């Protein structure tokens, strides 16, 4: 039986007669195809990526498993509609903490219409996309059984300053993030979630190394999800921290050129995560107004 995903933090959401994704009990995520070329573009990307033998296994793990498309009853009651069938990324997680980060200072592809380009450019300028190279699209942080989730309005986190973004990334790995918002985040789980050989920073660096070479695709308006289990972290267990790339309606062929837009935003995010991990008590960070991956150098923090 299909139901509304309980842990979606960004994008179009089902419910109240609105069209959005659904999940089933077997761990499959049903994403309705957009009616214009965006829907067909995303299908084409998944078909191309999943059959591309040039994609190394250590990179394909960062992308959702693709099971094809299927006609299912739409969440808005409009009848049968074609859906992408993907792996449910939070399958088996009881109370996951999740942040959705849209990567790139530019979220529109070169082939976009003038109207769509202007729409995206306006939002890129009004949010942190242009100055930081990425923006927070949605976040939920699990507190405890009493407090539940802290899930701020998406519009309130998209135009944050560099210092405010860093504060949010601290809250994401703090034990006191949702119990008292006036408390300074303690970053109690930074080492186990962001750090280590299998932590989020290590995964981001692995992805960065691929983007420094790959010229097959350019990823516009794509997001990175960061997910972990806070309860496991608080109990000293493996928090299961992972990153996943999602939303590929605006991917185009790379044609032998490095995807500097995505790579620059990824490097900027890595810088923020690295600073939270290595200097959790610092209050400020200085970021160039134009993220440049070529000038990005990690400090001597063990993440070289």
Model pLDDT for residues 20-33, shown as the tens digit of each residue:
899 999 999 999 99
* Better-predicted residue by pLDDT, 272 or 280: 272
- Rg of the chain over all Cα atoms, to the nearest angstrom: 19
pLDDT beyond 60 at 292: no
Share above pLDDT 70 across residues of the chain, in percent, rounded to a whole number: 88
Convert the pLDDT of each residue in 166-181 to its tens digit: 999 999 999 987 655 5
Q: What distance lies between CA 271 and its chain's CA centroid?
A: 16
Confidence (pTM): 0.89
| Range among 85-94, 213-222, 284-293 rated most confident | 213-222
Contact 223, 137 (CB under 8 A): yes
At 283, is the pLDDT very low, low, confident or very high (cuts 50, 70, 90)? low
185: closest CA among 96, 278, 101, 283? 283
Q: What are phi and psi of 242, to 5 degrees?
A: -140, 160
Tell me how far apart the alpha carbons of residues 275 and 284 are, in angstroms, rounded to a whole number: 10
CB atoms within 10 A of CB 148: 12
DSSP 10-41: SS---BTTB---EE-TTSEEEEEPPTTHHHHH
Q: Which band of pLDDT confidence, cut at 50, 70 and 90, is reported for residue 303? A: very low
Is residue 91 within 8 A of residue 28, CB to CB? The reply is: no
- Domain locations in the chain? 1-88, 92-276
Mean pLDDT score of the chain: 88
What pLDDT, on the 0 to 100 scale, is given for residue 282?
A: 67
- Measured in degrees and rounded to the nearest 5, phi and psi for residue 226 equal -115, 125
Q: Is 224 helix (H, G, I), strand (E, B) or coil?
A: strand
Supply 148's token pair. 């539940």
Name the CATH topology of 92-276.
D-amino Acid Aminotransferase; Chain A, domain 1 (3.30.470)
């Amino acid at each position: 039986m299909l139901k509304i995903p309980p842990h979606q933090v960004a994008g179009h959401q089902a419910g109240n007669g609105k069209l959005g994704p659904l999940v089933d009990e077997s761990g499959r995520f049903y994403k309705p195809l957009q009616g214009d070329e965006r829907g067909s573009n995303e299908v084409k990307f998944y078909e191309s990526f999943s059959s591309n033998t040039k994609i190394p296994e250590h990179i394909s793990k960062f992308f959702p498993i693709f099971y094809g498309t299927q006609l299912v009853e739409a969440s808005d009651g409009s009848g049968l509609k074609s859906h992408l069938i993907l792996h449910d990324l939070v399958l088996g997680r009881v109370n996951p903490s999740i942040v959705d980060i849209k990567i790139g200072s530019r979220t529109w592809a070169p082939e976009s219409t003038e109207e769509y380009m202007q729409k995206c450019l306006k939002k890129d300028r009004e949010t942190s996309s242009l100055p930081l190279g990425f923006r927070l699209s949605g976040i939920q942080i699990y507190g405890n059984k009493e407090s539940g989730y802290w899930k701020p309005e998406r519009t309130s986190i998209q135009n944050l300053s560099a210092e405010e973004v860093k504060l949010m990334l601290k809250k994401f790995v703090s034990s006191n993030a949702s119990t008292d918002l006036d408390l300074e985040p303690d970053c109690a789980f930074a080492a186990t979630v962001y750090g280590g050989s299998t932590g989020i920073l290590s995964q981001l660096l692995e992805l960065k190394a691929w983007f420094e070479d790959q010229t097959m695709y350019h990823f516009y308006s794509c997001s990175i999800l960061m997910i972990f289990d806070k309860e496991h972290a608080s109990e000293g267990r493996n928090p299961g921290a992972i990153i996943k790339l999602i939303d590929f309606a605006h991917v185009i062929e790379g044609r032998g050129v490095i995807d500097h837009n995505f790579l620059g935003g990824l490097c900027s995010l890595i810088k923020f995560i690295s600073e939270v991990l290595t200097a959790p008590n610092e209050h400020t960070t200085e970021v160039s107004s134009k993220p440049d991956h070529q000038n990005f150098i990690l400090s001597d923090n063990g993440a070289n």
